[in-house]
């Protein structure tokens, strides 16, 4: 009779690998909703309606990346510029939520498929 130690452990294959993630970065990302709760009263307030234009999460993420590239200190916590990267990632997660639940964001430069050709 085989013991459990002799049996091969089996598992269905998956298409993701969490070991590749940086857990310090994820911890820094997890600080952002605490700040949002303090500032806006709820970390999930962004799910009530889509933020567009200059207030969109995508625009806000780009601004955090710009500040990181310039070495600007993050104005919350310890001032570490790398926190801009975590804030950018959190904003991109918000944009992902919008795209998943509300569709792609409207953008003035996106080509519309129903747009008529200009008259010449």
Instruction: Indicate whether 47 belongs to any domain.
Output: no
Instruction: Indicate whether 118 belongs to any domain.
Output: no
Domain count, the chain: 1
Q: What is the pLDDT of residue 112?
A: 63
Instruction: Indicate whether 111 belongs to any domain.
Output: no
Residue 85, SS3? Answer: helix
Percent of the chain with pLDDT over 90: 53
Q: State yes or no: pLDDT of 3 exceeds 90.
A: no
Tell me which residue of 21, 33, 46 sits closest to 76, measured CA to CA: 33
Q: Can you give the residue range of the structural domain that contains 81? A: 53-104
Q: What is the pLDDT of residue 31?
A: 93
Instruction: Indicate whether 95 belongs to any domain.
Output: yes
Instruction: Indicate whether 45 belongs to any domain.
Output: no
Q: State yes or no: pLDDT of 10 exceeds 90.
A: no
State the Cα–Cα distance between residues 32 and 82, nearest whole angstrom.
13
The chain-wide mean pLDDT, for the chain, equals: 87
Q: State yes or no: pLDDT of 29 exceeds 80.
A: yes
- What pTM, to 2 d.p., does this model score? 0.77
């Amino acid at each position: 009779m085989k013991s459990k130690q002799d049996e091969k452990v089996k598992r269905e294959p998956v298409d993701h690998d969490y070991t590749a993630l940086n857990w310090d970065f994820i911890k820094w990302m997890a600080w952002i909703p605490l700040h949002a709760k303090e500032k806006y009263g709820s970390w999930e307030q962004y799910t009530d309606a889509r933020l567009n234009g200059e207030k969109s999460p995508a625009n806000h993420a780009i601004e955090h990346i710009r500040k990181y590239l310039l070495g600007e200190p993050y104005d919350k916590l310890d001032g570490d510029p790398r926190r801009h990267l975590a804030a950018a990632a959190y904003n991109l997660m918000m944009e992902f939520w919008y795209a998943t639940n509300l569709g792609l964001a409207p953008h003035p430069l996106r080509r519309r498929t129903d747009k008529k050709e200009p008259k010449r």
